Amino acid sequence: MTCREAIDVLADYVDGTMPADLAAELERHLAGCDPCRAYLATYRTTRALVSAAAAVEMPDEMKTRLRRFLAAQQRR
């Protein structure tokens, strides 16, 4: 699994709507990938704040910003 693939499915992972075999594959990727773990932590925090505030989906603009955050992590 690549980082891009991991990020594409992270929302389902956090929601718990992901098939178990895919979740296992994602967890294997996360175990060896600091940027994706950081992304997951940020996503969870943001999602908790968003759902507490309005119970709405994360806006596209927020996803774009999180992707940029990940890209910046990978450049180090």
**3 belongs to the binding site for Zn ion (CB under 5 A):** yes
**38 belongs to the binding site for Zn ion (CB under 5 A):** no
Tell me the three state secondary structure of residue 67. Answer: helix
Q: Contacting Zn ion (CB under 5 A), which of 10, 36, 40, 66?
A: 36
Tell me the three state secondary structure of residue 1. Answer: coil
- The DSSP-derived string for 8-61 is HHHHHHHHT-S-HHHHHHHHHHHHT-HHHHHHHHHHHHHHHHHHHHT--PPPHH
Cβ distance to Zn ion smaller for residue 3 or 58: 3
**1 belongs to the binding site for Zn ion (CB under 5 A):** no
Determine the Cα–Cα distance for residues 67 and 39; give it in Å rounded to an integer: 8
Tell me the window of 17-25, 31-39, 47-55, 59-67 that interacts with Zn ion (CB under 5 A): 31-39
Size of the site for Zn ion (CB under 5 A): 3
Q: List residues binding Zn ion (CB under 5 A).
A: 3, 33, 36
